[in-house]
Structure 1
Amino acid sequence: MNGDWANVRNLLVMRLDNIGDVVMTGPALRALKEALPGVRLTLMVSPAGANAAPLLPWVDDVIVWRAMWQQLGGGTFDPAREAELIGLLRERNFDAAVLLTSFSQTPHPAALACLLAGIPLRLGESKERAPGLLTHEPLSPTPEAEHQVERNLRLLEAVGLPVRDRALEVYVSDQARQQAAALVPYPYLLLNPFASCSARTYPPERAARAARLIAEQTGLRVAVTGVEKDRERSRDLLAELGPVGVDLLGRTDLPTFAALIDGARLVLTNNTSALHLGDAVRTPLLVTYSGTEYESQWRPRSTSALLLRRPTPCHPCYAFQCPFNLECLDISPEEVARAGLELLGRVGTSHEAVAVSG
């Protein structure tokens, strides 16, 4: 282990992104706690990402901050607010900061804030050079197609911190399990039909029909999850499901959502936080996985899974809106249902990613 890092006792970890990204910090947080006995670990997250903090038992404290550099389109620069952030970090007297980012993000704004706050050790990875902002980074760049969890762990290994376990893990409380059990009768499949951007969203009515076809063959109920703002656009979806559907829109916090995923026989979802939670609790996953990203960047690694996508020349596009009518997700509900029934029939085998071709 790098000698500077062996003495860290008050550690800041930044991951200022969405819920799924924060869930994927779990293996790195666990490794830090194991490698640095007695360390106090503070996780700095966005308001959305803060919802995942109760699922991560290695976190001692949480700082919630909406960073200007993480906002789509850029936020409004307010010098007083940025000074407030630097002052907040300085007050905490951190020994070191681990700056977790995806392949397309830069750690330099966060590193600058930490430098100005007097945090002496700053670990991150960037494609650009900015001498003095980071004190430690990997000797070679992480391949773009590398899984996000591996990208995080590679940072720790760059300073000699050992990693015992590379799998996702979340803590699901007994209270969350009880709340989940009161919402839907077992057995059920969980349908999580929406994603944070339209380019990653399989048409919800098609997803509902696929879920209904699976339910008709298996006798499962279909628990439909989402936030309250999804209700208006869910009417046709719920009508398609009919009596097999259980409307849970807006009725769960994230711990209860994780418990529902843990209790499901199967999760039908897009590439969103439900995928990572399902991988963490080892629930079989049927994922309508658009061509926006490489499968290798976000795919489940520890549970049985099928990833469904039409091959397209524009893959990966990293777009938020698709200009080509979502050709990568032009998959019939019947095909999705057959894949789900196949997956249910072989639960317990190793996970697999497949592309559905035309």
Structure 2
Amino acid sequence: MTNILVMRLDNIGDVIMTSPALRAIKENLPDCRLTLMASPGGAQAATLLPWVDEVLPWRVLWQDLGKLDFNPEREWELIRTLQAGKFDAAIIFTSFSQSPHPAAFVCYLAGIPLRMGESKEFGQGVLTLELPAAPDEIHQVERNLRLIEAAGFEVIDRNLCIQIPETAQKEALALLSGNSEYQNSQFPPYLLLNPWTSCQSRNYDSQRFAIAALQLAKATQMPVVVTGVEKDCDKSASLLAMLGDYAINLIGKTTLPQLAALIANAKLVLTNNTSTMHIADATRTPTVVMFAGTELESQWQPRNGYSRLLRRPTHCSPCYAFRCPYNLECLDISPEEVVVTGLELLKFD
């Protein structure tokens, strides 16, 4: 195999969790060309994955949430695009709840001869290597590695890993200082707060987050770098007001590589269950994660030993819901508990 397509069609964090598998593929086949097909959002993570030679962003119909119109020509365009790639093999990574068969069928129509995936269903030969499903509780990283190991790849390192471009490191440092002349200096000590996700059911109360971050800032005398996407600006006013002079507002001002650089150099990260958690896992940054009951911890939790997950057990977990129909009881955690956990990770008395 010299020209391999890897498909992971979800979000940034899901793509980052393919990093051990991508690294292993390149270690086993150093001369192969590796193309990553991901959602437009997930494709951003390729800048942190040095084993990827090319990125194919695509919003696929079978994982759409009702935004794509009925357009058969768009699907034929995907098939023609894959045909033009002349791939030797397609490795289809999916979560426990997803089927690889739609992707495998598209690859079959595109003439890709080897098609690998893990499935709970029998696919009638659409997959040439069809691995029986692992238990749902298995971690997503292990699910990915299990598939390539079944295909004969040797895996040496099972940890998450990313590579942050040097330019992103310098740009992140300039963002902190607000002065490009500061680029060659060292990162100052700071805390990083990423208080929102795109999924309402995973969001810890932002005012509680602000209280916890402020107490940590006062205890450590470190500023708080607040990050998020541009649409988070509209809901940030009260949080930033509470943090006052301790806040460094970078909401909507970072690229993904710059955000990764900020996470890698932070003394402590406060976040929900989102891509920030996975980046911090890869960079070994101490992290307090407000982990909602939407998923099982065993499927997604950081594995580097530098993170602590906080959540309350509830009868409805795991719900896998985008919106909580109750009152987010799984995230009913006091700011004081967040502070204590953060100080433990910082090794403060």
Instruction: Give me the TM-score of the superposition, normalised by structure 2.
Output: 0.95
Say if 1:137 and 1:155, in contact at 8 Å, map to a contact too.
Answer: no
How do 1:135-150 and structure 2 match up within 5 A?
135-138=128-131, 140-150=132-142
Q: Which secondary structure does the structure 1 equivalent of 2:99 belong to?
A: coil
Flag as ranges the 4+ runs of structure 1 deviating above 4 A: none
In 1, Cα distance between equivalents of 2:29 and 2:67: 36
Partner residue of 1:5?
A: none
Q: Among residues 31, 54, 61, which one is paired with 1:68 in the alignment?
A: 61
Q: Does 1:26 align with 2:28?
A: no
Partner residue of 2:155?
A: 163
Q: Among residues 321, 324, 327, which one is paired with 1:322 in the alignment?
A: 324
Once the two structures are superposed, residues 148-187 of structure 1 have per-residue CA deviations (whole angstroms, 9 ceiling, x without a partner) of 1110000001122111110001011111111111222621
* Cα 1:202/1:314, change in 2 over 3 Å: same
Q: Which secondary structure does the structure 2 equivalent of 1:17 belong to?
A: coil
In 2, Cα distance between equivalents of 1:197 and 1:37: 38
Q: Which secondary structure does the structure 1 equivalent of 2:22 belong to?
A: helix
Partner residue of 1:298?
A: 300
Shift of 1:129: 1.5
Q: Does 1:129 align with 2:131?
A: no
In 1, Cα distance between equivalents of 2:278 and 2:65: 23
Q: Does 1:117 align with 2:119?
A: no
In 2, Cα distance between equivalents of 1:54 and 1:303: 25
Q: Which secondary structure does the structure 2 equivalent of 1:313 belong to?
A: coil
Shift of 1:16: 0.9
In 1, Cα distance between equivalents of 2:69 and 2:147: 31
In 1, Cα distance between equivalents of 2:66 and 2:206: 27
In 2, Cα distance between equivalents of 1:261 and 1:128: 39
Output the amino acid matched with 1:277. Answer: I
In 1, Cα distance between equivalents of 2:134 and 2:192: 34
Please, which moves more after superposition, 294-303 or 262-271? 294-303
Shift of 1:344: 1.0
Partner residue of 1:43?
A: 36
Shift of 1:128: 1.5
Please, which moves more after superposition, 90-99 or 76-85? 76-85
Once the two structures are superposed, residues 208-261 of structure 1 have per-residue CA deviations (whole angstroms, 9 ceiling, x without a partner) of 111111111011110000111110111111111111011001110000000000
In 1, Cα distance between equivalents of 2:75 and 2:230: 32
Shift of 1:76: 2.3
Output the amino acid matched with 1:164. Answer: I
Q: Among residues 340, 343, 346, which one is paired with 1:341 in the alignment?
A: 343
Partner residue of 2:231?
A: 229
Please, which moves more after superposition, 119-128 or 68-77? 68-77
Please, which moves more after superposition, 315-324 or 116-125? 315-324
Output the amino acid matched with 1:265. Answer: K
Say if 1:291 and 1:316, in contact at 8 Å, map to a contact too.
Answer: yes
Say if 1:137 and 1:158, in contact at 8 Å, map to a contact too.
Answer: no
Q: Does 1:97 align with 2:90?
A: yes
Instruction: Give me the TM-score of the superposition, normalised by structure 1.
Output: 0.93
Partner residue of 1:352?
A: none
Shift of 1:74: 6.5
In 2, Cα distance between equivalents of 1:132 and 1:182: 53
* RMSD (Å), alpha carbons: 1.3
Q: Which secondary structure does the structure 2 equivalent of 1:301 belong to?
A: coil
Partner residue of 2:180?
A: none
Q: Does 1:54 align with 2:47?
A: yes
Once the two structures are superposed, residues 320-348 of structure 1 have per-residue CA deviations (whole angstroms, 9 ceiling, x without a partner) of 111120000001111111111111118xx
Partner residue of 1:349?
A: none
Partner residue of 1:176?
A: 168
Say if 1:190 and 1:225, in contact at 8 Å, map to a contact too.
Answer: yes
Q: Which secondary structure does the structure 2 equivalent of 1:184 belong to?
A: helix
In 2, Cα distance between equivalents of 1:340 and 1:16: 34
How do 1:163-312 and structure 2 match up within 5 A?
163-184=155-176, 186-312=188-314
In 1, Cα distance between equivalents of 2:62 and 2:142: 24
Say if 1:68 and 1:77, in contact at 8 Å, map to a contact too.
Answer: no
Shift of 1:73: 3.5
In 1, Cα distance between equivalents of 2:307 and 2:24: 26
Shift of 1:111: 0.5
**Unmatched tracts of structure 1, length 5 or more:** 1-7, 347-358
Q: Which secondary structure does the structure 1 equivalent of 2:123 belong to?
A: coil
Shift of 1:311: 1.0
Output the amino acid matched with 1:276. Answer: H
In 2, Cα distance between equivalents of 1:77 and 1:110: 18
Q: Does 1:14 align with 2:16?
A: no
Output the amino acid matched with 2:256. Answer: L
